[in-house]
């Protein structure tokens, strides 16, 4: 592997190239010289490949266009949100311009460090590349296409420097839900998630060591705690803000690798994951045997072997299941035809024909249709998922099954200080003791975070326990590019005008193509990583326990009185809306802004207001079966994602289930907002108005019952408007319930402000049901009466 070539590709453009186009090669050479190299002719090839993939529809040749289109960023400053195409109004204005004016290229040079070999130098340079200036992600890779960062372009160029013939590789490990959900205690949940994340990294590490971590397209690996620990092993010391105790990686990753190495790499990845699982298994197996032999206690528990202990290795051999799918980036006409067979989308064919007419060798490279190859990879992955791998394990031992999952026979029995017994299979035992392995391999920071995990009773406190499960809506469509802006919407407005003047047919074609590019996928990956880094801070703010935050997925436990504030804030941070604050950062208009003294300027995009999340929330007593609570939370998440109205609006919702002491389950669902009206925020304000003075439970029940009694006839037809209900029925309720005159009426007005026409009929009933569930969740246990 030519690591010097990767360094050159990574730094062939300075991060501030857009601000100094004329002198950018001299700046790049000055920085490369500090690392012991310089711009060589072959650096242009990965630059061309990366550019061709990102500028698939951008005409370059002068013979087809009357002049070379160029954009001076100072004269025409423009930056577009990469997920909705909207212009960032604050770009090059006020606070942001002050930061731009202070940008000093010489200080960037000072941050580069040459290590003893090119591989180590590359690792450190790649890790710290965005830190050269905090504006890195706000500077475009191409001023004509101001919708992707220079960092994303440089990462792609570095990744493509390893070969001229590349393939896309997707790897997933599982089963996920069965493995994580097999839990009786919070430590099983949290450590199980962490272990799955750790095993996924073993596969990613193969790519990182063979070609570099920028060859991993998803997830975003820069700043990752596991990568940091690998660097430390070879003497590279870097900083990260990532929480070492959070499972931050999903169970799937995508990489770009040389086609000639494909089979070798797939084999290495599978072996690396399986070998590490074997290392974990053997360590914990011996650890348990040593505990039993020495008669020592582990956290006030005693371990005993069962008859099926002899099956330990057989049980572990089932896990994990590793699936790989790949797609070569080659034979463009063959795969255009395949793409059409799968999708019946003629736009790719039309695009290809147009490119042939232009006879552009720059644009007709196979990589120029990267998005089509990526879509084919996704189709292959979907088809592969329909076939489930199954490894049969027959156990004839006359012993009980595992208490956590029941999937295998129990191999050990744990007896706690109260002499309660718990039987665990090999896999469940590993989950329970995995933290000891982390300590053994030097993951001290993770061990300190995970060695003690709060119980459900400690989390709930004087309230009930809330399980929160959140997931980004339509994430598959965002990643595949189905919901991405068209190529036309990714271009600078000045470029669009020029294209329309030169070739209207070509410009029209741009409106119908929204294929992904490498930079787009890296941006999605990076954005989800940024969100995941904010999740622990939000969860901590509301006294919760974060189980995992991998990309757009969040699982956390909270005291029931705080879960709604947490969920509402998390979905706003994800989209980048609501002017929510997390530390020194503010989220608005789809972007993350940084506050610095008297300045407030954008630093990177969030998913944008069109990208939403849905949530499932379950409220139960703290000692309710944790596995059943998780299953109910998944059911609620599905209910939220099934929410739909006649206008076509879907998802973007939350669903709540409160499990009462009697066993009764109350369920409600709602969109987060109706006509920009924050349902949870207004509902919480309404409840807080009364919960200290009167029985808010009775007030909500009376509002609900009187609305049914007075506003509908026996056939369910509405006979009184909400205005009539507010002016005539509520004053009557105030008098009957001895509430201060107009207090209930005024609070009700705030509850429905600007939304009378959105909250009538069934929607208002759903709102009342939601209020009931929120009130129940906020009620302290000592006052609970079902």
| Nearest by Cα to 534 from 484, 480, 449, 593 | 593
pLDDT digits (tens, 9 = 90+) for 155-203: 999 999 999 899 999 999 988 877 887 788 899 999 999 999 999 999 9
Task: Specify the length of the chain in residues.
Answer: 786
Average pLDDT of the segment spanning 388-405: 66
Average pLDDT of the segment spanning 242-261: 94
- Beta-carbon count within 10 A of 326 CB: 19
Q: Where does 344-462 have alpha helices with state H?
A: 347-358, 370-385, 426-440, 444-450, 456-460
Cβ–Cβ < 8 Å for 218, 254: yes
Average pLDDT of the segment spanning 583-594: 96
Average per-residue pLDDT for the chain: 88
Cβ–Cβ < 8 Å for 135, 21: no
Average pLDDT of the segment spanning 467-479: 94
pLDDT digits (tens, 9 = 90+) for 64-100: 444 567 888 999 999 999 999 999 999 988 889 888 8
Burial track 349-371 (b if 16+ CB lie within 10 A, e otherwise): eebbebbeebebeebebbbbbbb
**Given this model, what pLDDT does residue 273 score?**
97
Rounded to an integer, what distance in angstroms lies between the CA atom of residue 633 and that of residue 386?
24
**Given this model, what pLDDT does residue 396 score?**
62
Q: Is the pLDDT of residue 215 over 90?
A: yes
**323 by DSSP, 3-state: which?**
strand
Q: Where does 182-318 have alpha helices with state H?
A: 186-210, 225-233, 262-294, 312-316
**Given this model, what pLDDT does residue 57 score?**
57
Q: What is the DSSP string of 608-672?
A: -TT--EEEEEEEE-TTS-HHHHHHHHHHHHHHHHT-B-TTS-B--EEEEEEE-TTS-EEEEEEES
DSSP letter, residue 454: -
Helix axes 563-575, 518-541, angle to 10 degrees: 160
Q: Which of 1-5, 542-546, 684-688 has the lowest mean pLDDT?
A: 684-688
pLDDT band at 783 (very low <50, low <70, confident <90, very high): very low
Rounded to an integer, what distance in angstroms lies between the CA atom of residue 707 and that of residue 610?
34
H or E element: which one contains 252? strand 252-258
Rounded to an integer, what distance in angstroms lies between the CA atom of residue 46 and that of residue 57?
18
pLDDT digits (tens, 9 = 90+) for 419-472: 888 999 999 999 999 999 999 999 999 999 999 999 999 999 999 999 999 999
Stronger pLDDT, 308 or 612, i.e. the higher one:
612
Q: Is the pLDDT of residue 409 over 90?
A: no
| Nearest by Cα to 460 from 624, 586, 572, 303 | 624
Burial class for 433, CB neighbours closer than 10 Å (0-12, 13-18, 19+)? buried
Cβ–Cβ < 8 Å for 148, 604: no
Answer whether the bond into residue 403 is a cis peptide, omega within 30°: no
**Given this model, what pLDDT does residue 733 score?**
84
Average pLDDT of the segment spanning 579-599: 94
Residue 491 has, within 13 A of its CA and on its CB side, a CA count of 23
pLDDT-above-70 percentage for the chain: 92
Highest mean pLDDT among 406-415, 532-541, 662-671: 532-541
């Amino acid at each position: 592997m030519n690591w010097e070539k990767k360094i050159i590709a990574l730094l062939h453009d300075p991060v501030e190239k857009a601000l100094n186009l004329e002198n950018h090669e001299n700046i790049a050479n000055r920085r490369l010289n500090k690392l012991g190299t310089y711009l060589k002719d072959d650096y242009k090839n990965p630059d061309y490949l990366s550019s061709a993939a990102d500028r698939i529809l951008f005409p370059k040749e002068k013979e087809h266009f009357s002049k070379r289109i160029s954009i001076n960023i100072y004269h025409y400053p423009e930056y577009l949100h990469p997920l909705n195409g909207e212009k960032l109004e604050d770009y090059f204005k006020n606070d942001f311009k002050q930061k731009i004016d202070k940008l000093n290229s010489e200080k960037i040079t000072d941050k580069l460090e040459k290590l003893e070999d090119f591989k180590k130098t590359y690792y450190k340079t790649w890790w710290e590349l965005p830190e050269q200036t905090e504006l890195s992600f706000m500077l475009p890779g191409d001023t004509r296409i101001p919708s992707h960062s220079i960092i994303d372009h440089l990462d792609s160029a570095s990744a493509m420097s390893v070969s001229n013939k590349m393939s896309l590789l997707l790897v997933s490990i599982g089963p996920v839900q069965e493995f994580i959900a097999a839990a009786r205690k919070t430590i099983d949940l949290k450590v199980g998630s962490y272990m799955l994340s750790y095993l996924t990294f073993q596969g990613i590490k193969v790519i990182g060591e063979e070609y570099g971590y920028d060859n991993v397209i998803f997830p975003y690996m820069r700043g990752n705690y596991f990568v940091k620990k690998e660097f430390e092993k070879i003497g590279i010391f870097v900083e990260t803000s990532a929480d070492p105790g959070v499972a931050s990686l999903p169970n799937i990753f995508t990489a770009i690798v040389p086609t000639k190495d494909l089979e070798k790499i797939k084999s290495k990845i599978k072996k690396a994951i399986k070998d590490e699982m074997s290392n974990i298994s053997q360590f914990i197996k011996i650890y348990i045997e040593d505990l039993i032999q020495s008669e020592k206690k582990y956290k006030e528990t005693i371990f005993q072997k069962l008859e099926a202990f002899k099956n330990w290795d057989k049980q572990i051999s089932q896990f994990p299941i590793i699936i790989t799918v790949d797609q070569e980036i080659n034979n463009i006409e063959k795969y255009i035809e395949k793409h059409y067979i799968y999708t019946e989308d003629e736009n790719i064919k039309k695009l290809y024909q147009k490119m042939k007419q232009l006879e552009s060798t720059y644009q007709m490279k196979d990589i120029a249709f990267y998005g089509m190859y990526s879509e084919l990879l996704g189709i292959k992955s979907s088809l592969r998922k329909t076939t489930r791998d199954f490894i049969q394990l027959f156990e004839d031992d006359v012993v009980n099954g595992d208490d956590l999952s029941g999937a295998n026979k129990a191999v050990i029995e744990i007896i706690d200080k109260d002499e309660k017994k718990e039987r665990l299979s090999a896999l469940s035992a590993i989950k329970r003791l995995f933290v000891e392995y982390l300590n053994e391999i030097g993951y001290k920071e993770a061990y300190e975070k995970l060695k003690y995990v709060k119980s459900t009773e400690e989390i709930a406190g004087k309230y009930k326990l809330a399980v929160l499960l959140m997931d980004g809506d339509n994430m598959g469509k965002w990643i595949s590019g189905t919901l991405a802006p068209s190529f036309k919407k990714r271009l600078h407005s000045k470029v669009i005008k020029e294209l329309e003047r030169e070739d209207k047919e070509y410009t029209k074609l741009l409106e119908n193509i929204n294929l992904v590019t490498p930079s787009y996928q890296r941006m999605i990956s990076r954005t989800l990583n940024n969100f995941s880094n904010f999740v622990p801070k939000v969860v901590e703010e509301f006294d919760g326990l974060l189980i995992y935050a991998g990309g757009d997925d969040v699982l956390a436990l909270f005291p029931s009185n705080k879960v709604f504030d947490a969920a509402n804030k998390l979905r706003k941070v994800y989209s980048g809306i609501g002017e929510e604050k997390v530390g020194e950062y503010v989220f608005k208009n789809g972007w993350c802004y940084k506050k610095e003294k008297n300045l407030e300027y954008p630093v990177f995009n969030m998913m944008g207001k069109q990208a939403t999340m849905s949530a499932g929330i379950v409220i139960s007593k703290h000692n309710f079966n944790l596995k059943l609570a998780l299953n109910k939370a998944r059911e609620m998440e599905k209910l939220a994602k099934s929410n739909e109205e006649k206008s076509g609006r879907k998802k973007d919702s939350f669903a709540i289930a409160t499990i009462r002491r009697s066993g009764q389950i109350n369920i409600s669902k709602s969109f987060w907002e109706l006509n920009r009206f924050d349902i949870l925020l207004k509902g919480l304000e309404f409840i807080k108005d009364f919960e200290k003075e009167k029985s808010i439970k009775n007030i909500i029940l009376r509002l609900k019952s009187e609305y049914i009694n007075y506003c509908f006839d026996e056939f369910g037809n509405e006979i009184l408007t909400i205005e009539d209900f507010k002016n005539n029925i509520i004053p009557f309720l105030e008098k009957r319930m001895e509430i201060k005159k107009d207090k209930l009426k005024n609070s009700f007005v705030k509850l429905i402000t600007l939304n009378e026409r959105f909250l009538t009929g069934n929607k208002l009933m759903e709102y009342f049901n939601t209020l009931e569930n929120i009130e129940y969740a906020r009620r302290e246990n000592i006052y609970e009466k079902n």
